[in-house]
A and B are shown apart, each in its own frame.
Chain A
Amino acid sequence: MRYIRPLSIEDAVGQLAGSAGPAAILAGGSDLLVRMKGGFVEPELIVDIKGIPGFSDIRETAEGFSIGAAVPCAVLGENAVLKKAWPGVVEAAKLIGSKQVQGRCTITGNLCNASPAADSVPALVAAGARAVVAGPSGSRTIAVEAVPTGPGKTSLAKGEIIEAILLSKRAARSGDAYLRFIPRTEMDIAVVSAGVNLTLDEAGVIKAARVALGAAAPTVLLVEEAAEALIGRKLDDAALERLAKVCSGACRPIDDKRGTIEFRRKVAGVLAGRAATTAYARAGGK
């Protein structure tokens, strides 16, 4: 096994593209090292991206925020501006693992691990986040929901690295929220989860909405019908009921050790409603 710590993105991409055997990217290592220790993966090349300039920074840009691929989730929580603009994304990132894990893990890693139950991903999808992908043939920017293609699988090609996650500047009267269901209070993995992002007009009517569900299908679900159920309305009981019903219906969950199909369907709707209520309040809705 070979460990390298490249100092430029070009070097990292080149090393990954040129590797003969299985290669892995190391940021916080909270997934990779656990999988290696368990004997599930045995990479021949490990590329540590923490030494690449800019990868550990959160930048405020004209368009919004650029969060480097090696920024630990705990650092997101310490960024007051980001937290104010995207509280739902930050609260999702701060739910991953434990305090200790949050000091290492990253939202980019959470995305690329491609678990349907990843906590930060539904919040990022609801937020309309985009990923900047660097690769042998240059750079491209894609929607985050285009990254995971199935449990443990991504659309990234050999040699490609996500260098940053982009969040847009916040429109007025906007709010987002993320909720997950776990049987415990922490140190757990979502049985089902929901991220909701809303923008209201001056009258408190929802004019833009994105609703995403986690652990409800092989990949995170962006539920467009759920957004349609909200847009043009205030968040009253009827809207919430419709939202819950649409979300429950959109689920394609499985029965497994963490929960049943019936449970996930029902609770997806409950969580979407509760997350929407929080997001609506954060957007200033009454």
Chain B
Amino acid sequence: MNFDPRYANRNFASVGTRPIRPDGIDKVTGRARYGADFNMAGQLVGRVLRSPHAHAKIRKIDTSKAEKLQGVKAVITAADLPDLTDGDAAMYDILDNCMARAKALYDGHAVAAVAAIDARTARQALKLIEIDYEVLPHVTDVDEAMRHHAPLINDTIFTEGLEEKPAKPSNVTKRSQFGHGDVHAGFGAADFIVERSFRTEQTHQGYIEPHACVASVNLDGTAELWVCTQGHFVYRQHCAQLLGLEASKLRVTSSEIGGGFGGKTHVWAEPVALALSRKAGRPVKLVMTRDEVFRASGPTSATSIDVRIGARKDGTITAAEATLRYSSGPYAGSWAEIGAMTAFACYKLDNVRTVGYEVLVNRPKTAAYRAPSAPMAAFAVESAVDELAKEIGIDPVDFRIKNAAQEGTRSSYGPVYGPIGIGPTLEAVKNHPHMKAPLKQNQGRGMACGFWFNFGGQTCVDLNIGMDGSVSLAVGTVDVGGSRASLSLVAAEELGIDYSQLKAIVADTASLGYNDMTDGSRGTFSSSMATISAARNAIKILRDRAAQMWDIPVEDVIWEQGHAVAKGDNYGNLGKLSLKEIAAQSGKTGGPIAGHSELVADGAGVSFATHICDVEVDPETGATRVIRYTVVQDAGKAVHPTYVEGQYQGGAAQGIGWALNEEYIYGKDGRLQNAGFLDYRIPVCSDLPMIDTQILEIPNPNHPYGVRGVGETSIVPPLAAIANAVSNAAGVRMTHIPMSPPRILAAIEAEREG
């Protein structure tokens, strides 16, 4: 493959327009098929029994009564999902999370499952499973879990990343460190230093669609899985490995997806459904309830972060450091490490050091959540940056502009930046009318910056041209944010045809080569690169066929605005041949026309955003209302601007919920108390103002159109922007997220009492 991914400036015809999405009608009419909308003949209902204890040894499981219940076709425990992970620790954790082995490690941990003829029978069967637990002491708080006498969650874990191997096991699985320069000297040169500690509570992605799948294992060893996922190829690998199937014999089809945000990037219940189907000999549908989704899938880390930043009188930051403690659930993770990498990524710093600690707690296994780990680090750092600007007496935007990273800056996590957008987003914010909007009593304004890496990865695309001249595009990245529309625009752009001539689908795992999942804001970045490549490959064939039709050398045929054109004076009387005309003759000129592409999309450009937020705080109740919100973010190139804006608004909306009300609340018994949307408060429509957006386009040099991922960065600044706004409105620095009304009111009263 000789595809050149480098950016080249061009005028666009399709890219940058806003056509309606191809999946829109199905979604608004209810016809779109999500995870639970698929059915197979003879299908059983699967349900999972979950531990009510935060930490307990499983002494014995007796399933005999459940098995005898009429209508029950299979009952499984960990014994039916034996360990085939062969030393792969990360996969072993996923396996143990799917079905507890020796111990239940959190309230909601799966311990057994049944497949029965209907939901009622399945529910009854769960009640008949007898489990002998030995309840153990538990710990759910990230700081408490680090204390010396905290209950040990896994006694085989010794902290990695220390200079000497520790003598005793610990709940801290890893220490990581980033930075450069001499922080000590840097603080010595500072005129002002701000030092603060912050906390953020655990949140859930809050996708509206629960985890759902239909699994069918056949007697011949083949299997099918219909599932709601962000990455069906990854799910295939996981399930095949955990069940001892050959990957090629497991065909996974991704359904439409009602939100993932990182929470559907690894398997939860799918191996259980497959194991049930294997045992029962019939297809099994398994749909998690909302309660199960909260208790046993996807939350992000709870964190505890200390930040220290020093600056000279002129506003130059001289040193910055942070210690970040992130909970990872009961399994090892790298969440604090990512937080430590992103914490100061917006700034040009000579002296910087960040240290991350991964902490085990008796809570569900932490999963990725939209720019995972970055929002909490940004909250702590951007709060301290704001406070420092205030102490020095500099405008917070100017302070950030003065210290912003730029092309050539060595980032706080190591690499040297190429062309980046932090400076331009700050300049745009400085000039934005929002900054001049009047504020009334009890209102405050805040702003903050955010960074995310973005990712590229393995990608494979097929582009097939039908004899009627229509084009179908088969991609392997699940469409979570409108990528079928944007990829169709990209193919239309390359081929020079109209968007309406294209139809993009997400192909199943048997129909296309391997694709990494839709994560790291890679869907449109990587699949558009592969689509461009596939389209260019198809154009080669189209030119060849036109040359045949004209009986001239292919070198003399160029592709222009959807047509083959013979170039040179010799061919003055040859008309253009449209894609449609060439396609119509394809049967006679060599058969079907297609373009294929497989590549690793390197060079996902890093992404920056700056947000502005105005809030009003009721000083008597602590209630906060967001009254204005503006997102400014670099998109590289916005392929479908409406969906780019949607990503900006969606990230801000989730950030507003996280900042103000969302949190996992655990009782002293270690049980989750708010496993539902009533008491786990994501924002409702009327809680949000219209979220204004401004797209900046600083081309990514590593993509033909300059595209950067846009999905994740938008959730990085909100916690900090809102915290800065609330702190300004309430007159007291808020250091604990969410800033729920009781926390704000308590802070106001404490300030009042001095």
Question: Does B586 make an interface contact (CB < 8 A)?
Answer: no
Contacts of A259 in B (CB 8 A): 741-742
Is there an interface contact between A183 and B745, defined as CB atoms closer than 8 Å? no
Is there an interface contact between B678 and A263, defined as CB atoms closer than 8 Å? no
- In this complex, the interface size class of chain B, counting residues with CB under 8 Å from chain A, is 20 to 34
Question: Does A11 make an interface contact (CB < 8 A)?
Answer: no
Contacts of B684 in A (CB 8 A): 184-187
Contacts of A183 in B (CB 8 A): 623, 660-661, 681, 740-741
How far apart sit A262 and B621, CA to CA, in the bound complex (Å)? 11
- Choose from A184, A260, A267 the contact partner of B683 (Cβ within 8 Å): A184
Contact residues, B659-675 vs A (CB, 8 A): 660-661, 665, 673-674
How far apart sit A242 and B34, CA to CA, in the bound complex (Å)? 57
Contact with A along B612-650 (1 / 0, CB 8 A): 000000001111000000000000000000000000000
Question: Does B679 make an interface contact (CB < 8 A)?
Answer: yes
Is there an interface contact between A257 and B621, defined as CB atoms closer than 8 Å? no
Chain A interface, >50% SS class:
loop
Residue of B nearest to A187 (CB): B684
Question: Does B687 make an interface contact (CB < 8 A)?
Answer: yes
Closest-CB distance, B558 to chain A (whole angstroms)? 59
Residue of B nearest to A259 (CB): B742
Question: How many of chain A's residues have a CB under 8 angstroms from any CB in B?
Answer: 21
Residue of B nearest to A258 (CB): B679
- Choose from A184, A262, A266 the contact partner of B681 (Cβ within 8 Å): A184
Is there an interface contact between B742 and A260, defined as CB atoms closer than 8 Å? yes
- Choose from A184, A262, A263 the contact partner of B661 (Cβ within 8 Å): A184
Contacts of B621 in A (CB 8 A): 181, 267, 270
Closest-CB distance, A285 to chain B (whole angstroms)? 22
Residue of A nearest to B680 (CB): A257
Contact with A along B595-624 (1 / 0, CB 8 A): 000000000000000000000000011110
Is there an interface contact between B123 and A185, defined as CB atoms closer than 8 Å? no
Contact residues, B491-511 vs A (CB, 8 A): none
How far apart sit A22 and B291, CA to CA, in the bound complex (Å)? 25
Is there an interface contact between A262 and B679, defined as CB atoms closer than 8 Å? no
Is there an interface contact between B683 and A257, defined as CB atoms closer than 8 Å? no
How far apart sit A185 and B741, CA to CA, in the bound complex (Å)? 13
Contacts of B665 in A (CB 8 A): 257
Interface centre among A181, A184, A191, A259 (most CB of B within 10 A): A184
Is there an interface contact between A263 and B746, defined as CB atoms closer than 8 Å? yes
Question: Does A200 make an interface contact (CB < 8 A)?
Answer: no
Contacts of A38 in B (CB 8 A): 291
Contacts of A263 in B (CB 8 A): 622, 741-742, 745-746
Residue of A nearest to B290 (CB): A38
Question: Does B686 make an interface contact (CB < 8 A)?
Answer: yes
Contact with A along B682-693 (1 / 0, CB 8 A): 011011000000
How far apart sit A167 and B146, CA to CA, in the bound complex (Å)? 59
Contacts of B749 in A (CB 8 A): 266
Given A257-B673, A270-B621, A188 and B678 contact (CB-CB distance below 8 Å): yes
Interface centre among B621, B673, B687 (most CB of A within 10 A): B621
Contacts of A250 in B (CB 8 A): none
- Choose from A181, A185, A256 the contact partner of B686 (Cβ within 8 Å): A185
Contacts of B291 in A (CB 8 A): 38
Contacts of A189 in B (CB 8 A): 678-679
Residue of A nearest to B746 (CB): A262
Residue of B nearest to A192 (CB): B621
Question: Does A138 make an interface contact (CB < 8 A)?
Answer: no
Given A39-B123, A257-B665, A270-B620, A185 and B742 contact (CB-CB distance below 8 Å): no
Closest-CB distance, A277 to chain B (whole angstroms)? 13
How far apart sit A120 and B346, CA to CA, in the bound complex (Å)? 51
Contact residues, A248-276 vs B (CB, 8 A): 256-260, 262-263, 266-267, 270
Closest-CB distance, A271 to chain B (whole angstroms)? 8
Closest-CB distance, A264 to chain B (whole angstroms)? 9
Contact residues, B544-576 vs A (CB, 8 A): none
Residue of B nearest to A183 (CB): B661
Closest-CB distance, A272 to chain B (whole angstroms)? 12
Given A259-B742, A260-B742, A263-B746, A181 and B679 contact (CB-CB distance below 8 Å): no
Contact residues, A216-273 vs B (CB, 8 A): 256-260, 262-263, 266-267, 270
Residue of B nearest to A260 (CB): B742
Closest-CB distance, B658 to chain A (whole angstroms)? 13
Is there an interface contact between A185 and B687, defined as CB atoms closer than 8 Å? yes
Residue of A nearest to B621 (CB): A267
Closest-CB distance, A74 to chain B (whole angstroms)? 18
Closest-CB distance, B179 to chain A (whole angstroms)? 38
Contact with A along B93-110 (1 / 0, CB 8 A): 000000000000000000
How far apart sit A38 and B678, CA to CA, in the bound complex (Å)? 13
Contact residues, B425-478 vs A (CB, 8 A): none
Contact with B along A180-211 (1 / 0, CB 8 A): 01011111110100000000000000000000
Closest-CB distance, A151 to chain B (whole angstroms)? 15
Closest-CB distance, B681 to chain A (whole angstroms)? 6
Contacts of A187 in B (CB 8 A): 684
Contacts of A267 in B (CB 8 A): 620-621, 741, 745
Contact residues, A108-128 vs B (CB, 8 A): none
Contacts of B683 in A (CB 8 A): 184
Contacts of B679 in A (CB 8 A): 189, 257-258
Residue of B nearest to A262 (CB): B746
Contacts of A191 in B (CB 8 A): 741
Is there an interface contact between B674 and A257, defined as CB atoms closer than 8 Å? yes
Residue of B nearest to A97 (CB): B678
Interface centre among A39, A187, A262 (most CB of B within 10 A): A187
Contact residues, B274-320 vs A (CB, 8 A): 291
Contact with B along A38-73 (1 / 0, CB 8 A): 110000000000000000000000000000000000
Closest-CB distance, B743 to chain A (whole angstroms)? 9
Contact residues, B670-715 vs A (CB, 8 A): 673-674, 678-679, 681, 683-684, 686-687
Residue of B nearest to A274 (CB): B620
How far apart sit A266 and B681, CA to CA, in the bound complex (Å)? 22
Contact residues, B731-754 vs A (CB, 8 A): 740-742, 745-746, 749
Is there an interface contact between A181 and B745, defined as CB atoms closer than 8 Å? no
Q: List 13 A-B contacts (CB under 8 A).
A: A39-B123, A183-B661, A183-B681, A184-B683, A184-B686, A188-B681, A191-B741, A257-B665, A263-B742, A263-B745, A266-B745, A267-B745, A270-B620
3 closest A-B pairs by CB: A263-B742, A185-B686, A270-B620
Q: 17 more A-B contacts (CB under 8 A) besides A257-B673, A260-B742, A263-B742?
A: A38-B291, A39-B123, A183-B661, A183-B681, A183-B740, A183-B741, A184-B684, A186-B684, A257-B665, A257-B674, A260-B746, A262-B742, A266-B749, A267-B620, A267-B745, A270-B620, A270-B621
